[in-house]
Structure 1
């Protein structure tokens, strides 16, 4: 049994439906339903009755509710106790990002006494890790379209989002792309290309601007020929085929080694807001503050 299953269970009890719980958990309704079903399979009992008016606890669900509540609460206390014993440690969660990886390497080189505990995950996982004290901060990229929903969700979890800057959306193109020698691309031209793209995320990640407002272009009409979470694969497709990739202009050290260009996308909505999530009122530790300074230096023109 995973702690995540109990957290989803408690949220469903509080809001009485998979859909409402999904909104609070920063995930999709099918995902919540799947997690609860897995919990029920593992327990060998149904915890909810599915009715036309929503969810209702079964007698067994009522029986385990208090245990689940205690388990989640105690897990937070255990994590906080464990963290308090480890000094000189940066606890951080991020998306998969070569740029962030390079900055963490720089942090270590400049502070040989530092310990780094890094976790990579989705938006949902990053927020959960910060909420439970597993990570001090979580680095995120948020689309303009999703900002209000994102802020509402994290505020209910006792978290806050600090903006570090806005990053321009761009098109990554290799030597075989028809736009390789262009200086910029326009929104209206995006549907005519074929893409290698990152796996879909609700709020968008560094290599895939899913749900970002692309002006007159709906991301769903873009032709994604290849979807992958492997940067090695996407880089090779960019180098050896006419496929392109939508990303953000945030210093890709590895791609910069190759003949891959990043072409700015013209349009006022073509950017992501970059920042970090932390607990409300939290003062950054020395190492977290140093890393944030590195990121700001990369964003600054």
Structure 2
């Protein structure tokens, strides 16, 4: 049994709807349904009755809910207690990114003064969940404008603020641009499924169904090590935001930019806006802002 399962159960019980819970958790209804089904299987008890117009707790579910709510509330208190420690701690989550990892190393070397750090690499939806749960003080992620517009409607009810660090475009990174142009097809290595997916933008540019079929994802990974190795040693390309993701000096890339595309991707920082930002996350955010401005 995991805390995230109990958090999911509590929100489902409070909203009486898998779809509403999915919206609050920034995930799909099917993922919420699978999470609850797995919890029910583990407990050997049915927690919810599935009704035509929603869900209701069973009698046993009512009992379990009280304990689950208590555990979720206690987890928040534990985090609050940890924050009272004399040693400051910075808790940050970010999308898998070699430039961000290198930048954090620079920050640690230049700015660290005995603080503790908890740095997590995660997909955007997990970053949002961690911020809502107060697990992290700052989260960094890429979002297409249309995706961010939808999320902004949900941010206020979850006490999330955000700051746009950079606006950029979608490009194809590849070791040999001429190779792809000659073959008129693009095979890709891409990150795990996430809110940002420039592939949809790229496909919109293609005029025919035949051209769109020639865009194929051959490798999917959440590892920057795999991503860098594949881009450096194979003919696979990668569709990503321009300007930050591939600033590694040891890998030379050609780029092919989407035609007729305005700047449509935002690299943002998210945080809780119902509490004052502490000294350490504020200092780190300033460092990242300066790095992005110089890149």
Partners of 1:144 and 1:213 within 8 A in 2: no
1:34, 1:179 → 2: CA distance?
40
Q: Could you say which residue in structure 1 is the equivalent of 2:97?
A: 97
Q: Could you say which residue in structure 1 is the equivalent of 2:123?
A: 122
Q: Could you say which residue in structure 2 is the equivalent of 1:209?
A: 198
Against the structure 1 CA distance between its residues 21 and 62, is the aligned structure 2 distance closer, same or farther, given a 3 Å change threshold?
Answer: same
Q: Do residues 170 (structure 1) and 171 (structure 2) align?
A: yes
Which secondary structure state, in structure 2, belongs to the residue aligned with residue 46 of structure 1?
A: coil
TM-score by length of 2: 0.86
> Post-superposition shift, 1:7?
1.3
1:210, 1:158 → 2: CA distance?
31
> Post-superposition shift, 1:300?
2.8
1:83, 1:230 → 2: CA distance?
31
Q: How does 1:221-236 map to 2 (within 5 A)?
A: 222-236=215-229
TM-score by length of 1: 0.84
Q: How does 1:232-251 map to 2 (within 5 A)?
A: 232-251=225-244
Q: Could you say which residue in structure 1 is the equivalent of 2:10?
A: 10
> Post-superposition shift, 1:266?
2.9
Which 10-residue stretch deviates more, 231-240 or 172-181? 172-181
Instruction: Give the total of aligned pairs.
Output: 288
Q: How does 1:269-284 map to 2 (within 5 A)?
A: 269=262, 271-284=264-277
2:133, 2:259 → 1: CA distance?
40
1:214, 1:299 → 2: CA distance?
28
Q: Deviations over 1:90-143 (max 9, x none)?
A: 111111111111111111111231322111222232122222222111112111
Which secondary structure state, in structure 1, belongs to the residue aligned with residue 155 of structure 2?
A: helix
RMSD across aligned C-alpha pairs, in angstroms?
A: 2.8
Q: Deviations over 1:19-67 (max 9, x none)?
A: 2221221011221111101111121100011232222221111222222
Q: Deviations over 1:120-178 (max 9, x none)?
A: 22223212222222211111211111112212233221111122221222111103752
For structure 2, the 5+ residue unaligned runs are none
Which 10-residue stretch deviates more, 224-233 or 90-99? 224-233
Against the structure 1 CA distance between its residues 227 and 79, is the aligned structure 2 distance closer, same or farther, given a 3 Å change threshold?
Answer: same
Q: How does 1:180-219 map to 2 (within 5 A)?
A: 192-201=185-194, 203-204=195-196, 208-209=197-198, 215-216=204-205
Q: Do residues 268 (structure 1) and 257 (structure 2) align?
A: no
Which 10-residue stretch deviates more, 138-147 or 291-300? 291-300
2:110, 2:266 → 1: CA distance?
28
2:83, 2:241 → 1: CA distance?
34
